[in-house]
Amino acid sequence: LKSKITGIELNDMNTNVFSNYRNWLDAQKIPKGKKAVLLSALTLFAEFGFNGTSTAKIAQTAGVSQGTIFKYFKTKQDLLISILQPIIQNFFPVYRDDFLAEWQNFNTLRELVHFIIHDRYRFLKENSDAFTILLSEMLTNNTVRRLFQKILQSSKPIFVKQFQKKLLQNGVRKDLDSLAVFRTLLGQLLTYFLQQKFAPQIKVNEENDLKEIEDQIIRAISDQKREAN
């Protein structure tokens, strides 16, 4: 699989392909200057935003000329998409299948929620810069939003079917559909992730905080009558 925009050959689909975006990028066989530009832009876009980052600053941080940037990327927008497109194209297909296979090993609601929160939080944390850019650009960038929506729609039928079946088997309220449960899970997790990213002055204790998030989610989605029985 080759991205038409980036020209970067994506690794074969496997469960470790995107455990860390920087490590994945470092392993790609692309020119040194191009790789330096991508890594520099990744850091700067995450810290200052796409609009707040100039190509001059990217070139300076990467140790290359601005001409080198435009040798590989026609515009700054192309550079942005070159960072995000591999993440979007791989995130749901690879991690959907890996995630659904892994969570078949858990048989209680507590175990399922614990796995989801810790597994996804670890992934967000390891790829903090990339997901900070993705989340912010999805709000304002139509190209990024279309790429994400396309892969989301193709994954939705498979994910929803297995997700809802497993949840119902393990005590989730029947009046909640799988998307409502997913929003509850994702909302709690992203809020905590963004808090650490943009409000670092707030003290955190990850072990206690994630346990509290788990408890809040379980209270919100569990079938209390079933638990009582």
Say if residue 217's pLDDT is above 80. Answer: yes
Which pLDDT belongs to residue 65? 96
The pTM (predicted TM-score) of the whole model is 0.74
Exposed/middle/buried for residue 224 (C-beta within 10 Å: 0-12, 13-18, 19+): exposed
Which pLDDT belongs to residue 69? 97
Say if residue 11's pLDDT is above 60. Answer: no
Say if residue 190's pLDDT is above 80. Answer: yes
Here the tokens at position 101 are 């296979």
Query: How many other CB atoms sit within 10 Å of the CB of residue 134?
Result: 21
Say if residue 159's pLDDT is above 80. Answer: no
Task: Please give the average per-residue pLDDT across 172-189, as a whole number.
Answer: 82
Which pLDDT belongs to residue 186? 83
**C-alpha–C-alpha distance, residues 64 and 37, integer Å:** 8
pLDDT in tens, 71-119: 999 999 999 999 988 878 766 666 667 777 777 788 888 998 998 898 8
pLDDT in tens, 123-148: 888 888 888 898 888 888 998 888 88
Say if residue 160's pLDDT is above 50. Answer: yes
Rounded mean pLDDT of the chain? 81
> Which one has a higher pLDDT value, 82 or 226?
82
Here the tokens at position 207 are 């072990």
Which pLDDT belongs to residue 107? 82
Residue 202 contacts by C-beta under 8 Å, 6 or more apart in sequence? 195, 196
> Which one has a higher pLDDT value, 111 or 197?
111
**C-alpha–C-alpha distance, residues 181 and 227, integer Å:** 18
Closest CA to 221 of 120, 109, 121, 117: 109
